[in-house]
Amino acid sequence: MCVSKKILIEREIEKVFWSIAHIDGITSWLADSGYHESNDELQVRDKFHYQYGNITNTGFVFKKLPPKMIELRNIYKISFNNEKRIMPLRTLFSLESFDENNTLLQVDIFGFHRNYGKNIKDIFDYTYNKVLLNLKSVNETGIDCRKQLFKENNLGILFTEKSTDNHKQCITISQIKKGTLAEKINLKPHDIIEQINGMKVNSYKEFSRLMDCSQFKLKDLIIKRENERKILYMRGEPIEL
């Protein structure tokens, strides 16, 4: 299984490649911190270490053909809702000059395990859209939009994806943040979110798309708690349980 993304960036190919292969470029749009073995632009067989949010990305450069291609072998360590996961992946950046001042970038991430990697693949599939939007913003305007793109969800919950008794994918709450709407309306760890505002929510991707909407306002929330279906919020008012 793989994740593939394309984006057109209004900047010459050499500058876009620099932002992908140079430590100063990478920290401008992706990594919070990091280092390269050569401490400059990545070279073949160079080892690297990046940290962004709850993700640690270590590995080495497998192939490089400036300014058209660089392939990385990655080991991702992810802390996701109190769970730690380690994933060996392969990331290929392919660049093409669309015209003199525009670059078409394709990113392919390979190696998601067929059995237990689907949830992580869905997370990469969704979040990498934001990652590339920020790469585009930094290259075209010099503005880093990470805070706006990766803001916390409006409910104030941490969650994990797992199977229900019916072997269906679902959103299960693992932690409630204090002082948030989730605490106010009495959500609890192990609650399963079934519907938000009348929409079924079965995956991280569906949940994130809903939360990312700038006009989002919670009106209706249906959960399952201890195999019993409950309505916690109806027409904007919390329901006492």
pLDDT tens digits, residue range 128-144?
888 999 999 999 999 99
218/124 Cα distance (integer angstroms): 26
3-state helix, strand, coil in the chain (%, to 5): 25, 45, 35
Q: Are residues 42 and 159 in the same domain?
A: no
Contact in structure between 98 and 105 (CB atoms under 8 Å):
no
Q: Are residues 167 and 125 in the same domain?
A: no
206/31 Cα distance (integer angstroms): 26
Query: Considering 114, 148, 182, which residue would you say is the last residue of a domain?
Result: 148
Q: Are residues 181 and 128 in the same domain?
A: no
Q: Are residues 69 and 15 in the same domain?
A: yes
Q: Are residues 173 and 132 in the same domain?
A: no
- CATH number of the domain that 104 lies in? 3.30.530.20
Query: Considering 98, 124, 148, which residue would you say is the last residue of a domain?
Result: 148
Mean pLDDT along residues 110-117: 76
154/191 Cα distance (integer angstroms): 17
Contact in structure between 228 and 222 (CB atoms under 8 Å):
no
Q: In total, how many domains does the chain have?
A: 2
Predicted local distance difference test score (pLDDT) of residue 166 = 63
The reply to whether omega before 189 is within 30° of 0 (cis) is no
Q: Are residues 102 and 174 in the same domain?
A: no
Predicted local distance difference test score (pLDDT) of residue 89 = 94
Output b/e per residue, 172-183; b: 16+ Cβ within 10 A: bbbebeeebbbe
Predicted local distance difference test score (pLDDT) of residue 112 = 87
Q: Are residues 233 and 141 in the same domain?
A: no
pTM of structure = 0.74
Q: Are residues 113 and 24 in the same domain?
A: yes
Query: Considering 148, 168, 198, which residue would you say is the last residue of a domain?
Result: 148
Predicted local distance difference test score (pLDDT) of residue 160 = 63
More confident residue, 78 or 143: 143
More confident residue, 69 or 127: 69
pLDDT tens-digit profile of 211-236? 776 667 788 888 989 888 888 876 66
Q: Are residues 121 and 198 in the same domain?
A: no
Residue 106 has pLDDT above 60, yes or no: yes
Predicted local distance difference test score (pLDDT) of residue 171 = 79
Residue 67 has pLDDT above 90, yes or no: yes
**CA 215 to mean position of chain CA atoms:** 21
Predicted local distance difference test score (pLDDT) of residue 40 = 78
| Lowest-confidence pick of 24-33, 112-121, 217-226 | 112-121
H-state helical runs in the chain: 13-21, 23-29, 118-141, 146-149, 181-184, 204-212
Q: Are residues 84 and 191 in the same domain?
A: no
The residue range of the domain holding 80 is 2-148
Q: Are residues 213 and 96 in the same domain?
A: no
Q: Are residues 122 and 172 in the same domain?
A: no
Predicted local distance difference test score (pLDDT) of residue 217 = 78
Residue 164 has pLDDT above 90, yes or no: no
